[in-house]
Amino acid sequence: MVAATERPLANSLPAGEESLRDWSHEVTNQLLGRIKNLLIRRGATIFVSTPVVIAGERLAPVPAGDLCPLVFADADGEHVCVWFDCDCDESLELSLSPEDVGVPDEGDAVLFF
């Protein structure tokens, strides 16, 4: 889950994009894609769902265990918080070094014909 005050999202909004809702969806999707690619390169099998955007006040994730967000904050009190929760098989062992498994690098164009 990604949660942010409005200014960090507004300041990173690409030119021509008008919707903070659409942009927050895209930011979340890109972050999840990067995490997924890193884990796949280390030998994990990943099943993810499509990210959704919700709005509200005092929303709180209900993780499977103890979970604290990564919090990125600036001096003006603006912040972006990231919670990552997953279920893993107890036998999962990740490789310490990434493998070349054919996963495209972030930013690569993938064309389907």
Higher pLDDT, 7 or 1: 7
Q: Are strands 79-82 and 2-4 parallel, antiparallel or unpaired?
A: antiparallel
Residue 91 burial by CB count (10 A; 0-12/13-18/19+): exposed, middle or buried?
A: exposed
Give the pLDDT confidence score for residue 63 in this predicted structure: 63
Banded pLDDT at 97 (limits 50, 70, 90): confident
| Residue 2 near residue 80 (C-beta atoms within 8 A) | yes
For residue range 30-82, list pLDDT tens digits in order: 888 888 888 888 888 888 777 677 777 777 666 666 667 777 777 678 888 88
CA geometry: angle at 81 spanning 48 and 21, to 5°? 70
Q: How far apart are CA 29 and CA 24, in angstroms?
A: 8
| Residue 79 near residue 2 (C-beta atoms within 8 A) | no
Give the pLDDT confidence score for residue 103 in this predicted structure: 79
Report the SS3 class of residue 82.
Answer: strand
Residue 111 burial by CB count (10 A; 0-12/13-18/19+): exposed, middle or buried?
A: exposed
Length of the chain: 113
For residue range 76-95, list pLDDT tens digits in order: 788 888 877 777 888 888 88
Higher pLDDT, 106 or 52: 106
